[in-house]
A and B are shown apart, each in its own frame.
Chain A
Amino acid sequence: MNVTTLLDMAVEGFGDRIVVGTREAGLTAARLRELAAAGARVVADTGADSVVYLAVNGPAFPVALFAAAHAGVPLVPVNYRLGAEQLARLVGNHPKALVVADEGQSGAIERAGLSSRTPARFLADLAEVADGGGAAQAPEPPAAPESAAVVIYTSGTTSAPKGVLLKHLNLAAYVLGTVEFAGAEAEEAALMSVPPYHIAAVSNTLTNLYAGRRVIVLENFDPRTWVETVRDQEITNAMVVPTMLARIMDEPGLDRSVPSLRSLAYGGAAMPRRIIEQALVEWPAVGFVNAYGLTETSSTVSVLGPEEHRAAIASSDEVLRARLSSAGRPVPGIEIEIRGEDGEALPAGESGRIWIRGEQVSTEYAGTGSSVGAEGWFDTRDHGRMDAEGFLFIEGRVDDTIIRGAENIAPAEIEDVLLRHPDVADAVVVGVPDEEWGQRIEAVVVPRPGVTLDEAALVDLRVQVRRSLRGSKTPDRIVCWPELPRTATGKILRRDVRGRLNPAE
C-alpha cells in the first residue's frame, strides 16, 4: 500500500482534527490531504522525479512527504548543515527534483542547475492550487508499494553517506506493526526536535498522523525553548536524541516542570545512564521509551517501555537496573539475531553482530543495489547482545572497534564506565595508532557544568576504570575537553576525535 492510504484513513477517521502545527494555526488531516494532492499536481506539471527537502523542519515537511507520495515520486530530505561540496554531490543525484529549500541554500541549488522555493512559498503555492480547484485534477496516487517513498542519506559518520531507499511497503509495515489507528486522544500533541533528514522525522510524521496526534516541530533545539514549548503547547509526547535530554538535565537554573508530558521517547545514540536516571527521578509521571533503530529499518525495531524503565530504576538488582542501558525487545514483525564472526547465531548473553529481518527493513541502497543478505537479513554493523529474556543491548558500531594487540575492544563498554562517574557529562573512547599494540586506547571526557577535572581527577578516573574493567581495556590516556564533536542528531564524530588526539593520523 501507498503511505497516502494512511492519510486517507486519517481523513476518513478524524478529518477535521488538527494534525500538523499549533492549535491556532495548524493543518487538519483533510487540509493536509488537499495540499498533498495539490503538490502532486505541481510535481506532475513540472515533470519532477523527486522532491528534495533542504530546509529546517516545519509544516512544509509533512506536506512535501505526502505530496511526493501522492505523485508517486520519492521525498529526499537532505541535511542542510552539509558542506557545499557534499551538498552539491547529494543534490546532484537528483537533477530532476522539485526543490524546497531555505533561503540560504539557493546558491547550492543553483549550482546544481535546479531552482527552489522556500517552505513558505511552497505552502502558499500549494494552497493556491488547492483553493483554485487544482487538487481535484491531481492524478490518483499510484498503487506501487515497491516504489521508493523516501530516500534518506545516512549520516556518514563511519563511511560515505548512502542513500537508503524506503519503499511504501517498508514504511507502511512499520506504521501498521507499531501504531494503533486513531489511538491518540484528541488533546494529545507531540513535539519533534530532530531535523527532517533524520529517519525519526519521517516515521514520526507517519505514526503520529496514523495515531491522530498533532505534531509540533522545534526548528532549532535548545533546552529552554524545549521546556517552554512543552508547557505552552501542552505537549503530551516528545522525542529527543540523548544529547538533548542531557542538555535539558544539565542546564543550570532551568525550570524543568513539564506537567502535560506523558511520554518521552529517545534514541539515535547511546544514552548515558546518569542522564536517564536523573530524568526518571525528576519526571516520575513521564513514561520513558528507549527506541533502537536505523535509517535502513524505517526507524524503531526494538523498544524499552515505561514499565521496564520504572522497574529498573526501582530495583537494587544490578541485572534489572542494567536494563536502563538496554534497547528493550523487538517490535512486532521484527526478528533480531546476534551472530558471531562465522555468521552463526549466538546464544543469549554472548556479544556479536546485530542482524535484523522484517517487512519494514529497506532492501536497497540508491545506486549500489541490495542492502540485505540471504533470506532478507540486514547486517546493522552494530555490536550487541541479547539477555535470556530477549532484552537487546547495543555495544556500538563494528567500525568503531578498537583492536589493541589481538584483542577486539568495543569503546561503548569503557564509555559506560566513564559516564558513570558523577563529574563526567560526556565521554568517548577511540583507538589511536600505536607502534607496540597496533592501536592504543585513548579517552576524552567532558566535565559536568561547574566541575573542573584536573590531572589528579583524571588519574583517579583512570583508577576507577581499572577497577571495573581489565587492564587491557583501561585507556592509556584520558584527556579533558569542553565538548565532544557531535552531529546535530547526537552521533559522536569519532574520526574528528581521533584526528585531534593524534594529529599525525
Chain B
Amino acid sequence: MKPRVGTTLSSTTDDTTVVVVRWGAADLDLTCGGAPMVVGRPAPEDRREPAAAAGEGTRLGKRYTDDGAGVELLCTKAGTGDLVLDGVVLRTKDAKPLPASD
C-alpha cells in the first residue's frame, strides 16, 4: 500500500487503528496481527483471526517507525497485534518530551 498522510488504517485482526504521519514514496505491505491493514474502517467480512503469534501489541498514542523507509504511524486505538512493515516489526519512537508551551 501507499496511503496518503492523514489516512486512517485499521487492523482486521484486533482493535488497532493508526493514522499515517509519514509514508514516503514506496509501496509497502503493512500488517497487524499477521493480516494486511485496510484503509478506513474494516467491513465485518474483513474480520479475521490473527495469523501471527501475539507480540507486544500496539499502544494508544505511541508513534511507530521503521528505520529505513521513512514510515511513521500514530496509534489512535490500541490492539493486541504487532505492526509489521514489509516483514519488519515497527518499533515505538522515543520522542524527547517538550515542556508545555501553551
Taking beta carbons and an 8 Å cutoff, which residues of A are in contact with B? 1, 5, 8-9, 12-13, 143, 145, 168-169, 172, 176, 178-183, 190, 200, 203-204, 207-208, 211, 213, 237, 239, 263, 265, 267, 287, 289, 291, 299-300, 303, 305-306, 331-332
Contact = CB atoms under 8 A, between A and B. Distances in A.
A289 B95 CA distance: 19
B6 A265 contact: no
Given A1-B6, A13-B60, A143-B8, A178 B98 contact: yes
Contacts of A208: 100
Contact of A267 (B76, B97, B101): B101
The 10 closest A-B pairs by CB, nearest first: A181-B61, A291-B101, A145-B6, A300-B101, A204-B102, A289-B99, A1-B6, A203-B102, A200-B102, A1-B19
Contacts of B95: 180, 332
Nearest to A301: B101
A1 B77 contact: no
B61 A9 contact: yes
Question: At the interface, is chain A mostly helix, strand, loop or mixed?
Answer: mixed
Nearest to A204: B102
Interface of B: 5-8, 19, 21, 60-63, 74, 76-78, 95, 97-102
Contacts of A331: 98, 101
B59 to A, nearest CB: 9
A299 B76 CA distance: 24
B8 A183 contact: no
Given A5-B19, A145-B6, A176-B21, A181 B100 contact: no
A332 B101 CA distance: 13
A267 B99 CA distance: 14
A306 B60 contact: no
Contacts of A8: 76
A115 to B, nearest CB: 33
A139 to B, nearest CB: 15
A87 B98 CA distance: 37
Given A190-B100, A265-B100, 12 more contacts: A1-B8, A143-B8, A180-B61, A181-B60, A200-B102, A203-B102, A287-B99, A299-B101, A300-B101, A303-B98, A303-B101, A332-B98
Nearest to B63: A176
For the complex, would chain B's binding face be called helix, strand, loop or mixed by DSSP majority?
loop
Contacts of B19: 1, 5
Contacts of A204: 102
Contacts of B5: 145, 169
A62 to B, nearest CB: 14
Contacts of A143: 6-8
Nearest to A188: B100
A395 B21 CA distance: 34
B77 A12 contact: yes
A379 to B, nearest CB: 23
A180 B100 CA distance: 10
Contact of A207 (B7, B60, B63, B100): B100
A299 B78 CA distance: 29
A181 B6 CA distance: 17
Nearest to B97: A180
A166 to B, nearest CB: 14
Contacts of A287: 99
Contacts of B102: 200, 203-204, 207, 239, 265, 267, 291, 299-300
Contact of B61 (A145, A182, A265): A182
B99 A9 contact: no
Given A143-B6, A143-B8, A9 B60 contact: yes
Given A207-B100, A207-B102, A182 B60 contact: yes
Nearest to A206: B102
A243 B17 CA distance: 44
A289 B99 CA distance: 7
Contact of A183 (B6, B60, B76, B97): B97
Contacts of B76: 5, 8-9, 12
Contacts of B98: 178-179, 303, 305, 331-332
A202 to B, nearest CB: 9
Contact of B99 (A12, A213, A306): A306
A178 B61 contact: no
A145 B5 CA distance: 9
B10 to A, nearest CB: 13
* Residue in B19, B95, B101 with the greatest tally of chain A CB atoms within 10 Å: B101
Contact of A176 (B74, B97, B100, B101): B74
